[in-house]
Structure 1
Amino acid sequence: MESEKPTVSFDQRDSSLRSASLAEVSARSLPRPESVTVVIKHHVRAQAVADYEQWLKRIVPIAQRFPGHRGVHVIHPVPGSTLYTVTVRFDTLQHAEDWFQSAARQSLVNEVMPFLASDEQRQTVTGLEFWFHPEPGQKPAKRFKQFLLTLSVIFPLTMLVPVPVQWLVRQQPWLGNTILEHLVIAAIIVGLMTYVLMPRVTRLAAHWLYE
């Protein structure tokens, strides 16, 4: 009879948190999500865009099964272009390399190559730099412009986001823990910056950023 293969688990929960006191939880360092971002650029053949879109739908859920995965954001081409920019976030460089060097990803890359006009471009960045990537041939955005543009988006969010969160805290007293309240506010701001605002703002300000 065939021996049963062990099941591989990617569960990263810490069971000790169930019995930890409030003081012990408060003393723990906050998690550092999105510490590594890999920016991938694909120049897709015009006649293969539909096939490429189907490929994207397959590869994203596969990547999500790898430990440390923190999300994928796809920036679709502007009219007249077929350049896709995909940002993949991991909590550590080691987890990112586990995915990018995996046999599963290599198989998927082999599938997509016929749809591309050139080899994929890949760059690993940390922090906020992944929002500012010029097109080939463009000058990198100057640091002070990155700072000003990021500040112009973050500052209004720091004024607006706490208002509904504080209202929610009044309705749900269990959220009144100071650390938890600030964590919720930070998570909302980072989510809005990453998925909603910065991809659009950097496109709108591209002429000023990269001039």
Structure 2
Amino acid sequence: MSSSGRNLYGGLNQKIDYVFKVVLIGDSAVGKSQLLARFSRNEFSIDSKATIGVEFQTRTLVIDNKTVKSQIWDTAGQERYRAVTSAYYRGAVGAMLVYDITKRQTFDHVSRWLEELRGHADKNIVIILIGNKTDLGSLRAVSLEDAKEFAEREGLFFLETSALEALNVETAFLTVLTEIYRVISKKTLVANDEADAAGTSNLLSGKHIVLTGQGQTSVGGKYSCCMYS
């Protein structure tokens, strides 16, 4: 399901250095699947139907000369699909919490989604809050100030996007993936320094941290940052 043809994508035979699992969460119909389609295939469908259960797309790109495969998981926002929760979050190192700027209720539910996320995922997961559908600005029901305040209070990245107009979609995904890479690279450097001090650096040579759905590796370090459109 990965795509190619743009300079950010890795080649088909290119070695993968990292695999990062990122989950999309938020109420139904806020545009999660459209954001994913825009990022993974540069597509948008006016007639998009609600996601049933769970699906995921992949896209391979280069960050700091390393080939990173992003595995983006998308699930239905309806309550009846909450049974997939534990498996859905397992191994995730990034999360995109999406609301619709034209529907206040979807923003009011963000706290509940964040609580669920933090209850199931690694406590240091990289999270970005996304206010989608800025192309419908005349119908805005959630102010930029309210969203900024919430993001700052919770220590989240923040962007407003439009999947329809492809506004800030690339930036939102790359923000999460780059931050994950930054944190993991820092952990790798620390591990190598500790190994050097112990005289065992040769044990780490040629090894890569691979983050998959199995949850072998967790993200460390605290961070707090907001980005505004």
Structure 2 length as normaliser, TM-score? 0.29
Q: Which has the larger radius of gyration?
A: 1
Structure 1 length as normaliser, TM-score? 0.31
